[in-house]
Amino acid sequence: MKVLVPVKRVLDYNVKVRVKADGSGVDLSNMKMSMNPFDEIAIEEAVRLKEAGTATEVVAVSIGVPQAQDTLRTALAMGADRALLIQSDQDLEPLSVAKLLKAVVAEEQPTVVILGKQAIDGDNNAVGQMLAALLDWPQATFASKVEIAGNKATVMREVDGGLQTIEVDLPAVITVDLRLNEPRYASLPNIMKARKKPLDVKEAASYGVDIAPRLQVLKVAEPAKRKAGIKVEDAADLVMRLKNEAGVL
Amino acid sequence: MQIYTAPLRDMRFVLHELHGLERLYALPAFADFSDELVDSVLEEAGKVTREVLLPINASGDEEGCVLDNGVVRTPKGFKEAYNVFREGGWNALSAEPEWGGQGLPKCVGSAVEEMICGANLSFSLYPGLTAGAVEALKSHASDELKQRFVPKMVEGTWAGSMCLTEAHCGTDLGLLRTKATPQEDGSYKIDGAKIFISSGDHDLTPNIIHLVLARLPDAPEGVRGISLFLAPKFLPDADGNPGQRNGIQCTALEHKMGIKASATCQLSLDNATGWLVGEPNKGMAAMFTMMNTERVGVGIQALGVAEAAYQSAVAYARDRIQGRALGGAQHPDQAADPIIVHPDVRRMLMTMRVNNEGCRALAAWVSQALDLRTHAATEEERLEAEDFVALMTPVVKALFTDLGYESVNLAMQVHGGHGYIRDHGMEQYVRDTRITMIYEGTNGVQALDLVGRKMPAHMGRYLRRFFHPVAEFIAANKADPDIGKMVEALEKAFGALQLTTAQLAQSGMKDPEEAGAAATEYLRLFGLVALAYLWARMAKVAAGKLAAGDPDAAFYSAKLISARFYYERILPQTSALFLSIKAGKGAMMEMAEAAF
């Protein structure tokens, strides 16, 4: 069984995000970039499936700038067997990413695609679902537990107000949530071995997929600064303010 | 709260842009390495140190180690952290692949060591002592001993310790009394008592391999009668697993000022079985193989903690609002300005910053020589690197630990009263760093090593390994439009160092007390000139990058301003040192002993 894990290079979660002065986007120049934390969890799950003997090969794929190779090397150091970079300088929309991944699935023929439920930069939470729809595969999103047996995957999902367990036929798309597992640290020997694992680079254009943007970014701005709170006199004052000033009562 | 983020950008600058590792990659030992691989290693090390070692730094200090019924327990979380560390292969970082190591260049290993110490100095001593013991065994032990012990120590399954000090002797090991009695099977029975033994006993590993200095029955007096022995806590059985308990017991834990999570033990050796390492009566030489590398390591320990303290101080100075900027409010929307607006707070932050960045550049230079002395292609290059390491070892040890201690104190000062109470973790840094000026040879001993041994060695051959590159750099860059002014100041300070060196060589020959009286100040003068040389080189690289329009302009501009601060505010100290060295021993040696 082959597992395909798409991973995205994003601004490191520890970095304080700065908006460009002209409001055209987020300033990424010379910022520390890392693998999307949800994708780390996806890689970890795939590697565990391999270690358990369920999966035979783990392939990591990333779409983006040439430096996304570093992100793929991280995936290889964690235990992926080989990697593919689809190079593009465009900031691709979820639909374009899903279309490119569909093309990769056609080439690679994986039994399951495991990916983060969302990337922490765009927070779109869309690629997994779109990919499943394009492939006409079942989808199991927000996984907090994954069991694969025979031709089926049993996935516990984090939903509003609790957990839902579903069974899907394979092949399927699984998107992972935060509590699925705790990603390992890459060991020093594996970091060294990762340099020798195969990493292919292809141009996005070579897939013949329409990746023209459908959306236009009008403005990117920082959230408004929180205003200082006030002390209310008593309960009556609170109710009055909630009614008249906040307009919530 | 203590914070620590590995200074990866500065480490990459120092390794790739200032020194360049291409020379190492060209050697067969490092042919598999590249800048990208080195960066991946540094990146992951930064992650492991911050996420695994930092969270148990303050708690480990609070809890300390405990001796309970003859068993030493490390603080909560240390064993789990050690296992993550060992399983990640970090223990075996720079060890040769033939012994199961990863064979990384030492200069990369030093950067990782800095991170480990920055996150948790106490923790660093457990793998650190093992690495030191492995060095000594690799160079001096018989093949049979090596095969039995080294692989397990390299992988971190077993730990190591170095048992030198006894209650009545530390610096002068010639006085030691521990006895080794030959047995018919070629082993020895060792009896005696040791103190101050770092990692002398703990619960991180199922076995500990002690290297013990002791005397044979017919040994000559003094340091020429000391031999080195290997004595494990548990004697390995036929399968190589820990078997019968050896006669080595931890009788007490030392109550220390800092590094409380590192178990510093008093050990009693009672009929303990051991094996000779190297030649009889040549134990000191074997020990010094390890000691020299360890001394560079101790310098890096202080640098690591000083970097962590600097980061905390910057965060606090940005966050703490108190009073107003001297030239008028800078944040009128807030009740007060953050204290980082004040020149005196800037003075402290800048001093820490240039101390750290300068030392990091020097550490990488010396560590690269550690690689070259073993792996360089020609005998001549290896000798040159060996000389350079010998010369710079006492400088790195004493200068880094003095400056590191100064920096952690400044970090406490920036915090004001909040630095003195425990909550922010600054007082731990001060307590932890203090030992680095003392152990592995006090800084006074380092200074004597520099003026007494290294300076006169081979008619000044060691000195030339440093003086020549500096002189060449000055000649080549005096007219440089970007750094010419700095180079002029460097030339002046370098001139003072050369003059002092010549005078000391003369006066010290006639009267060793003159050399002894000048030693500490001479070492500092030497160190400040070495840092000035590296700051000028760093400024040159930064100016070049800026001129070329490098997108990381913020980093390089900050580098240039830091270089300026070093030259304007730190380097002038060399003039004062020059004068006090010139004054000679008189005022300190004329005082009658009874008058103290």
Q: How confident is the model at residue B403 (pLDDT cuts 50, 70, 90)?
A: very high
What are A69's two structure tokens? Answer: 């190779």
Residue spans per domain, chain B: 8-64+74-138, 140-287, 451-585
Structure-derived torsion over alpha carbons of residues B376, B382, B384, B389, reported in degrees to the nearest 10:
100
Q: Which pLDDT does position B123 carry in this prediction? A: 98
CB contact under 8 A, B44 and A186: yes
CB contact under 8 A, B52 and A186: no
CA-based nearest residue in chain B for residue A31: B552
Instruction: Set out the domains of chain A in order of their start, with CATH numbers.
Output: 2-244 (3.40.50.620)
Compute the distance between CA of residue A94 and CA of residue A91 in angstroms, rounded to an integer: 10
Q: How confident is the model at residue B94 (pLDDT cuts 50, 70, 90)?
A: confident
Compute the distance between CA of residue A119 and CA of residue A101 in angstroms, rounded to an integer: 15
Interface check for A226 against chain B (CB to CB < 8 A): the answer is no
Indicate if the pLDDT at residue A235 is higher than 90. Answer: yes
CATH for B140-287? 2.40.110.20
Q: How confident is the model at residue B458 (pLDDT cuts 50, 70, 90)?
A: very high
Q: Which residues of A touch B552 (CB under 8 A)?
A: 30
CB contact under 8 A, B102 and A188: yes
Interface check for A12 against chain B (CB to CB < 8 A): the answer is no
Interface check for A186 against chain B (CB to CB < 8 A): the answer is yes
DSSP assignment of B6-27: --HHHHHIIIIIII-SHHHHTS
Report helix angle B461-477 to B379-415, nearest 10: 70
CA-based nearest residue in chain B for residue A71: B40
CB contact under 8 A, B44 and A188: yes
What's the average model confidence in pLDDT over B493-506?
96
Compute the distance between CA of residue B481 and CA of residue B476 in angstroms, rounded to an integer: 12
Indicate if the pLDDT at residue B292 is higher than 80. Answer: no
- Closest partner residue to B37 (CB to CB) among A29, A187, A195 is A195
Q: Which pLDDT does position B290 carry in this prediction? A: 76
Phi-psi region of B250 (alpha: psi -120 to 50; beta: other; left: phi over 0): beta
Indicate if the pLDDT at residue B589 is higher than 90. Answer: yes
Count Cβ–Cβ pairs < 8 Å, chain A vs chain B.
Answer: 50
Q: Which residues of B are catalytic?
A: 440
CB contact under 8 A, B87 and A74: no
CA distances from A82 to A6, A21, A73, A198 (A): 12, 39, 9, 5
Q: What is the pLDDT of residues B317-368, one digit of tens each?
A: 999 999 999 999 999 988 999 999 999 999 999 999 999 999 999 999 999 9
Q: Which pLDDT does position B508 carry in this prediction? A: 87
Nearest Cα of chain A lies from the Cα of B293 at a distance, in angstroms, of: 22
Q: Which pLDDT does position A225 carry in this prediction? A: 81
% of residues, chain A, pLDDT over 70: 100
Interface check for B11 against chain A (CB to CB < 8 A): the answer is no
Interface check for B555 against chain A (CB to CB < 8 A): the answer is yes
Give phi and psi for A217, each to the nearest 5.
Answer: -80, 120
CB-based contact B386:B379 (threshold 8 Å):
no
Interface check for A185 against chain B (CB to CB < 8 A): the answer is yes
CB contact under 8 A, B52 and A185: yes
Q: What is the pLDDT of residues B156-204, one digit of tens each?
A: 999 999 999 999 988 888 899 999 999 999 999 999 999 999 999 999 9
CB contact under 8 A, A192 and B52: no
Strands A139-149 and A152-159: antiparallel
Q: Which residues of A touch B335 (CB under 8 A)?
A: none
Diameter of chain A measured on Cα atoms:
70
CB contact under 8 A, B36 and A70: yes
Q: Which pLDDT does position A16 carry in this prediction? A: 87
Compute the distance between CA of residue B100 and CA of residue B92 in angstroms, rounded to an integer: 7
Nearest Cα of chain B lies from the Cα of A190 at a distance, in angstroms, of: 9
> Would you mind telling me the total number of residues written for chain B in this entry?
596
Q: What is the pLDDT of residues B221-278, one digit of tens each?
A: 999 999 999 999 999 998 989 999 999 999 999 999 999 999 999 999 999 999 999 9
Q: What is the pLDDT of residues B418-448, one digit of tens each?
A: 999 999 999 999 999 999 999 999 999 999 9
Q: Which pLDDT does position B319 carry in this prediction? A: 94
Provide the b/e sequence for B107-135 (b: ≥16 CB within 10 Å).
bbbbbbbbbbbbbbbbbbbbbbbbbbbbb
Q: How confident is the model at residue A227 (pLDDT cuts 50, 70, 90)?
A: confident
Report helix angle B512-547 to B484-510, nearest 10: 170
Residues pairing with A6 in the sheet:
A61
Q: For domain B8-64+74-138, say whether CATH 3.90.228.20 is its number.
A: no
Q: Which pLDDT does position A246 carry in this prediction? A: 83
| Radius of gyration for the alpha carbons in chain A, expressed in angstroms and rounded | 21
Q: What is the mean pLDDT of chain B?
A: 96
Compute the distance between CA of residue B264 and CA of residue B164 in angstroms, rounded to an integer: 13
CB contact under 8 A, B102 and A192: yes
Q: How confident is the model at residue B42 (pLDDT cuts 50, 70, 90)?
A: very high
Q: Which pLDDT does position B579 carry in this prediction? A: 96
Q: How confident is the model at residue B24 (pLDDT cuts 50, 70, 90)?
A: very high
Report the candidate in B92, B113, B94 with the shortest Cα–Cα distance to residue B45: B113
Q: How confident is the model at residue A166 (pLDDT cuts 50, 70, 90)?
A: very high
Q: Which residues of B touch A192 (CB under 8 A)?
A: 32, 37, 102
Indicate if the pLDDT at residue B513 is higher than 90. Answer: yes
Compute the distance between CA of residue B313 and CA of residue B415 in angstroms, rounded to an integer: 7
Q: What is the pLDDT of residues A77-131, one digit of tens each?
A: 999 999 999 999 988 999 999 999 999 999 999 999 999 999 999 999 999 999 9
Compute the distance between CA of residue B474 and CA of residue B470 in angstroms, rounded to an integer: 6
Indicate if the pLDDT at residue A211 is higher than 90. Answer: yes
Q: Which pLDDT does position B436 carry in this prediction? A: 98
Q: What is the pLDDT of residues B112-139, one digit of tens each?
A: 999 999 999 999 999 999 999 999 999 9
Compute the distance between CA of residue B426 and CA of residue B432 in angstroms, rounded to an integer: 10
Q: Which residues of B touch A188 (CB under 8 A)?
A: 41, 44, 88-90, 92-93, 102, 104
